[in-house]
Amino acid sequence: MKHNILALCASDLSAQILKWEDFLRTEKHCSRHTLRAYISDLSHFVEFLFNHFGKNPCLNDLSEVSIKDFRSWMSKKAMDGTSNASRARSLSGIKNFLSWLDKQGIVHNAAIKAVRTPKRPHKIPRPIHETQAIELVHNAHILEKQDWIGLRNIALFTLLYGCGLRIDEALSLNLSDLPRDGFLRVVGKGSKERQVPVLEDVENMLAAYLKEYPYPIESHRPIFIGARGGRLNQGVAQKAMRDLRRTFGLPENITPHALRHSFATHLLQNGANLREIQELLGHSSLSTTQRYTEVNAEELMRIYNAAHPRA
């Protein structure tokens, strides 16, 4: 919990914020990224109310926030350069908090329902071409001075591309979670579990890395570790990818998450159906998976325009 948000609140509001945070963590099983985003957005909103009311906002103040006040807050975020997508997320977080307070019978605010969500830009995934993905994965070691770190990078990026994992899912794995009988148990968003088939190439890369693992192989240890032995930080993996793409002169959209997009797109291109891809990715909604059909359509139009004599 950010201490500054509690310092700006009256005691009754700060107590409920702590309870809401506990609810998100223990009952909703929000990821740490989602939790951090919610608290950050609520901090900004509380700071706005502090300046708006000229005092530490309390629960009663929350019930009296008008639609004009909500719009002023959203306008301030826009003037600060916050994108539509980020403002939509911020509004969603505040709605979540007020809805929770309402269900607890603590605070009711009718105005929040009338606040229109900013339109999000329509984005489609940006996958990597198959040859680029394979080149990147096989050369993920070349910039590392220590052999085991190079093998770790190969194993991590092979896992992301070969199994379609989110980077956070991969880095959360412990040695006790290593594949068994050709499958990997993955805990995704909302603590939802799924079984993902593991290619032989992925298992081979993991085995090569674990042969050079610099610590005793104990079940509680993370599979992917940093130079000091702790769980590998996501930022370190992202930097390794950044350095690789610069070395090979590859596009800026090539990130660890782009390997997940590539996994789904290449499966679709080679005949997998959307339901199968949905299960493999751990999407709760098929509409999320359907974005990959747009990628295929876009590629098809590119080929058509490049190849047709009348294009």
What is the maximum alpha-carbon separation in the chain? 72
CA distances for 99 relative to 94, 109, 238, 255, angstroms: 8, 9, 36, 36
Full-model pTM: 0.64
Span 159-185, average pLDDT: 90
Evaluate if residue 285 carries a pLDDT over 70: no
For 127, phi then psi, to 5°, come to: -75, 170
User: Tokens representing 236?
Assistant: 């370190």
Burial grade of 272 (CB within 10 A; 0-12, 13-18, 19 or more): middle
Q: What is the mean pLDDT of the chain?
A: 83
Residue 257 bears catalytic tag = yes
CB neighbours of 134 closer than 8 A, spacing ≥ 6? none
**Of residues 48, 46, 36, the one with CA closest to residue 16:** 46
Contact 282, 165 (CB under 8 A): no
Provide the β-strand partners of residue 194.
Answer: 186
Say what percent of the chain tops pLDDT 90: 37
Domain positions in the chain: 3-114, 130-307
CB neighbours of 164 closer than 8 A, spacing ≥ 6?
Answer: 196, 260, 263, 264, 267, 280, 281
**Domain 130-307 sits in which CATH superfamily?**
Intergrase catalytic core (1.10.443.10)
Residues found in the chain: 311
* Catalytic residue status for 119: no
- Look up 292 and say whether it is catalytic: yes
**In percent, how much of the chain has pLDDT > 70?**
84
Give me the helix-helix angle, 256-269 and 130-138, nearest 10°.
140
Burial tier of 274 (Cβ tally within 10 Å: 0-12, 13-18, 19+) = middle
Q: Of residues 38, 161, 209, 292, which has the active-site annotation?
A: 292
Concerning whether 138 is annotated as a catalytic residue, the answer is no
| Most confident residue range from 67-76, 263-272, 280-289 | 67-76
The dihedral of CA 279, 282, 286, 289: what is its sign? Answer: negative
Catalytic residue among 166, 245, 261, 266: 166
Q: Is the pLDDT of residue 296 over 90?
A: no
Query: What's the whole-number mean pLDDT along residues 106-110?
Result: 92
Tokens of 153: 């990078």
Point out the catalytic residue in the list 189, 194, 231, 291: 189
Distance from C-alpha of 153 to C-alpha of 141, rounded to nearest angstrom: 6
Count the Cβ atoms, other than its own, within 10 Å of residue 110: 10
pLDDT, tens digit (0-9, with 9 covering 90-100), for 131-146: 777 888 888 898 888 9
Does the structural domain 3-114 have CATH classification 1.10.150.130?
yes
